[in-house]
Amino acid sequence: MMTIIWLLILLVGATIAGLVWFTWKTKRQVETAVPPRGQFIEISTGQLHYVDKGHGPAIVMIHGLGAQLGNFDYALVDALSSTHRCIAIDRPGMGYSDRPDDAPANPRAQAAYVAEAIDKLGLDRPLIVGHSLGGAIAVCLARDFPQKTRGLALLAPLTRGGDAPSPAFASLGIKSDMMRKALAWTLATPLGMRNVDMVFNLVFGPDPVPRDYSTRGGGLLGLRPGSFFNTSRDYVSSMADIKWMRASYGELQVPMAVLYGEDDRILSVETQGRKLVADHPEIALDVIPGGHMLPLTHPGACVDFIRRNDPGL
């Protein structure tokens, strides 16, 4: 009997070791395929990775859940750099930006990290472009640091809650950091590979996924264990400030505009867009055909929307 128990223990140990080795190997391969392509500054969470291109009124771009700056420098940064200085950041904990495991991950805390970056870069009231969760962070930035922005141009943003959680995020609702770390270094990477088509169908659909999204768009970086760990923390913390946000829109000191895809499968244009502007008609809403990943799938519409809603032009 003891022999069988020891064999089972060895089998479990070997399986865990194999998963850790596979995750480590995948992490190294991903970082070789998609290395950092920007610059680094130091803020309270550690090094912050960003790209900075163009001249003119500044724009700071904040990506969404589980993403990184590739969502913006895939197409938007180059297109906007003829009229603006465009800064796209890896939010702390994502891409190649640091974040301690115990650093707060709620939208208001993340807005404070962005405010640090704005100060560190010496930016004068940039326009804030936020996508998805980055839209919630942008709203928190405008409320808590109104002197640091001249306006908000938000792409498929989380604005008020009320949507059912998407199946694309089913694996993220983990409350324990220890469990997050264990899953990040064992099952998260192989399961992420197995489920990629299902997740992309929800996140991008009905629009097609750009063929080079994995490398040029940085999508492969989501397979790293640190990405899973911090994405889970961001997801669990994402609704922490929603009630405060909903009560704050009437007090915004800068203009706000929202662009949504009619067919978004992650966040509802009805809940996050139309109900928002029904309560706050001073907020502008544009709706176009398309899904959730507008910066990658409809860059032309995003560029036009951002320029039209920049009070600095």
Average model confidence (pLDDT) for the chain? Answer: 95
Q: What is the pLDDT of residues 137-170, one digit of tens each?
A: 999 999 999 999 999 999 999 999 888 889 999 8
Domains and CATH numbers, the chain: 36-308 (3.40.50.1820)
Q: What is the mean pLDDT of residues 239-261?
A: 96
User: What ranges make up the beta strands (E) of the chain?
Assistant: 39-43, 46-53, 58-62, 85-89, 127-131, 151-155, 256-261, 284-288
Confidence at residue 14, expressed as pLDDT on a 0 to 100 scale: 77
Q: Which of 112, 118, 68, 65 is nearest to 94 (CA)?
A: 68
pTM confidence score: 0.96
> Does the N-terminal peptide bond of residue 206 adopt cis geometry, omega within 30 degrees of 0?
yes
- Residue 223 bridge partners (DSSP): none
Please give the average per-residue pLDDT across 95-99, as a whole number: 98
Task: Reduce the DSSP state of residue 45 to 3 states and report it.
Answer: coil
Measured distance CA(133)–CA(232) in Å, rounded: 13
Angle at 107 between CA 175 and CA 89, to 5 degrees: 110
pLDDT over threshold 70, residue 7: no
8 A C-beta contact, residue 180 and residue 233: yes
pLDDT at 117: 98
**Spatial contact of 110 and 233, defined as CB atoms under 8 Å apart:** no
Per the DSSP assignment, residues forming a β-bridge with 59 are 86, 127
Which ranges constitute the DSSP H helices of 121-195?
A: 133-144, 177-184, 188-194
